[in-house]
Amino acid sequence: MKSMSMLSVRNLKKYFPIGRKFSLGRGGSVRAVDGVSLEVQRGQILGLVGESGCGKTTAGRAILRLIEPTEGRVLFDGEDLTAAGGADLKRFRRRMQIVFQDPYSSLDPRMSVFRIIKEPLDNFFSGLNSRRKRDRVAETLGRVGLLPEHMTRFPHEFSGGQRQRIALARALVSEPELIVCDEPVSALDVSIQAQVINLMKKLQRELNLSLIFISHDLAVVEYLCDPVAVMYLGRIAEISPKESLYKRPLHPYTEALLSAVPIPDPVLEKKRKVQLLSGDVPSPLNSPPGCAFHPRCSLKTDACKELRPELEEVLPGHWVACLVRGGRRNGA
Amino acid sequence: MSHLLEVRNLSVSFHLLEGVIQAVAKVDLVLDEGEILGIVGESACGKSVTAKSIMRIIPTPPGRINSGKVLFEGRDLMELPEEAMQEVRGEKISMIFQEPMTSLNPAFTVGDQISEVFRFHRRTPKAEAWEKAVEELRRVEIPDPEKRARSYPHELSGGMRQRAMIAIALACRPRILIADEPTTALDVTIQAQILKLIAQLQGEIGMSVMLITHNLGIVASLARRVAVMYAGRIVEEGPVETIFNAHHHPYTRGLLRSVPRLDLPQGDLQEIRGTVPRLNDLPEGCTFSNRCDFVMDLCRRQEPELRPVGEGHVSRCWLDQRLW
How far is CA A72 from each of CA A36, A38, A53, A79, B226, rounded to the nearest angstrom? Answer: 8, 12, 20, 14, 51
Measured CA to CA, the distance from residue A320 to residue A328 in angstroms comes to: 11
Listed residue (B244, B298, B251, B248) closest to B274, CA to CA: B251
Question: Taking CB atoms and an 8 Å limit, are B188 and A263 in contact across chains?
Answer: no
Look at residue A76 and give its three-state secondary structure. strand
A81: closest CA of chain B, how far (Å) = 33
Neighbouring CB atoms inside 10 A of A190's CB total: 22
Q: Where in chain A is the domain with CATH 3.40.50.300?
A: 41-68+83-226
Is the CB of residue A220 less than 8 Å away from at least one CB of chain B? yes
Chain A residues touching B218 at Cβ < 8 A: 262
CA distances from A278 to A193, A295, B151, B194 (A): 31, 9, 20, 11
3-state secondary structure of B21: strand
- Rounded to the nearest angstrom, the minimum Cα separation between B95 and chain A is 23
Distance CA B287, CA A318 (A): 48
Mutation pick from B162, B189, B216, B292 vs chain A, by most beta carbons of A within 10 Å, is: B189
Contact status, residue A180 vs residue A64, Cβ threshold 8 Å: yes
Q: Do B220 and A266 touch (CB under 8 A)?
A: yes
User: Phi and psi at residue A145, in whole multiples of 5°?
Assistant: 85, 20
Distance CA B97, CA B161 (A): 11
Average pLDDT over residues A18-40: 78
H or E element at residue A329: helix A323-331
Residues A296, A252 contacting (CB under 8 angstroms) = no
Which own/partner pairs from B248-251 qualify as long-range (CB within 8 Å, at least 24 positions apart)?
A: B248/B309, B248/B310, B248/B313, B248/B315, B248/B317, B248/B319, B248/B322, B249/B288, B249/B315, B249/B316, B249/B317, B250/B288, B250/B292, B250/B293, B250/B294, B250/B317, B250/B319, B251/B288, B251/B291, B251/B292
pTM of the full predicted structure?
Answer: 0.89
Do the strands A210-215 and A178-182 form a parallel or antiparallel pair, or are they unpaired? Answer: parallel
Q: Which residue of A has its CA nearest to B253?
A: A191
Tens of pLDDT, residue by residue over A143-186, are: 999 999 999 999 999 988 999 999 999 999 999 999 999 999 98
Strands (E), B162-270: 176-180, 208-213, 225-230, 233-239
B75-76/B63-72 β-pairing: antiparallel
Q: What is the pLDDT of residue A329?
A: 45
For A84-127, what is each residue's pLDDT tens digit? 888 899 999 999 999 999 898 999 999 999 999 999 999 999 89
A256: chain B residues, CB-CB within 8 Å: 189
Question: What's the confidence (pLDDT) of residue B290?
Answer: 93
Residue A223 contacts B, CB cutoff 8 Å: yes
To the nearest 10 degrees (0 to 180), the angle between helices B158-170 and B110-122 is: 10
pLDDT band at A278 (very low <50, low <70, confident <90, very high): confident
The pLDDT, as a whole number, for residue B276 is: 84
Question: Residue A194: which of B193, B196, B270 has the nearest Cβ?
Answer: B270
Q: Quick one: pLDDT at residue A272?
A: 86
Q: In DSSP terms, which residues pair with A265 in a beta bridge? A: none
The whole-chain average pLDDT of chain A stands at: 90
Nearest residue on chain A to B215, judged by CA atoms?
A: A264
First to last CA, chain A: 29
Per-residue pLDDT of chain B (324 residues; tens, 9 = 90+): 589 999 999 999 999 888 889 999 999 999 999 999 999 998 889 999 999 999 999 998 899 999 999 999 989 999 999 999 999 999 999 999 987 778 899 999 999 999 999 999 999 999 999 999 999 999 999 989 999 999 999 999 888 999 999 999 999 999 999 999 999 888 898 899 999 999 999 999 999 999 999 999 999 999 999 999 999 999 999 999 999 999 999 999 999 999 988 888 777 788 898 888 888 888 999 999 999 999 999 999 999 999 999 999 999 999 987 777
Contact B218 A263 (CB under 8 A): no
Whether A268 contacts chain B with CB within 8 A: yes
Peptide bond preceding B62: is omega within 30 degrees of 0, i.e. cis?
yes
- Under a CB-based contact definition with an 8 Å cutoff, are residues B39 and B219 in contact? no
pLDDT over 80 at A252, yes or no: yes
Residue A310 region by backbone torsions, left for phi larger than 0, else alpha for psi between -120 and 50, else beta: beta
Banded model confidence at residue A285, pLDDT cuts 50, 70, 90: confident
Minimum CA–CA partner of B251 in chain A: A191
Tell me the backbone φ, ψ of residue B104, rounded to 5 degrees: -90, 150
Calculate the CA dihedral of residues B102, B105, B110, B114 and round it to 10 degrees: -110
A192 contacts in chain B (CB < 8 Å): 42, 271, 275-276
Mutate: best of B98, B271, B288, partner A, most A CBs <10 A: B271
Calpha distance A305→A72 (Å, rounded): 26
Among candidate residues A58, A93, A57, A99, the one with its CA nearest the CA of residue A76: A93
Interface of A with B in 166-185 (CB under 8 A): none
Q: A41-68+83-226: which CATH number, 3.40.50.300, 3.30.530.20, 2.30.40.10, 3.40.50.10160?
A: 3.40.50.300
User: Inter-axis angle of helices A130-143 and A160-172, to 10 degrees?
Assistant: 130
- Which positions ≥6 away from A120 have C-beta within 8 Å? A94, A97, A170, A173, A174
pLDDT score, position A22: 57
> Quick one: closest CA in A to B269, which residue?
A194
- How close is the nearest chain A Cα to the Cα of B259, in Å? 7
- The distance of B300 to chain A (nearest Cα, Å) reads 21
Cβ contacts of A261 on chain B, cutoff 8 Å = 188, 217, 262
- Partner-chain contact A263 B214, CB within 8 Å: no
Sorted by sequence, the CB contacts under 8 Å of residue B264 that are 6+ apart come out as: none
CB contact under 8 A, A264 and B217: yes
Pair B217, A264: CB distance under 8 Å: yes
Question: Where do the DSSP E strands lie in B73-146?
Answer: 75-76, 93-96
Distances (CA, A) of A37 to A73, A209, B321: 9, 20, 54
Residue A18: per-residue pLDDT:
79
ipTM: 0.84
Which helix (H) or strand (E) segment is A99 a member of? strand A96-99
Task: Judge whether B135 and B173 are in contact, CB under 8 Å.
Answer: no
Enumerate the residues of chain B whose CB falls inside 8 A of the CB of residue A280.
Answer: 157, 159-160, 190
Q: How many CB pairs under 8 A join A and B?
A: 130
Nearest to A121 by CA among A138, A104, A105, A108: A138
* Whether residue B100 has a cis bond before it, omega within 30° of 0: no
A197, A264, A274 member nearest B261 (Cβ): A264
Distance CA B91, CA B122 (A): 9
The A residues from 233 to 262 touching B (CB cutoff 8 Å) are: 246, 256-262
Angle at B93 between CA B87 and CA B98, to 5 degrees: 120
Closest-CA distance, B60 to chain A, in angstroms, reads: 26
CB contact under 8 A, A263 and B261: yes
pLDDT value, residue B13: 94
Report the gap between the CA of B224 and the closest CA in chain A (Å). 9
Q: Quick check: B260 and A220 CB within 8 A?
A: yes
Are A216 and B269 within 8 A, CB to CB?
no
Find the residue in B nearest to A223 (Cα): B260
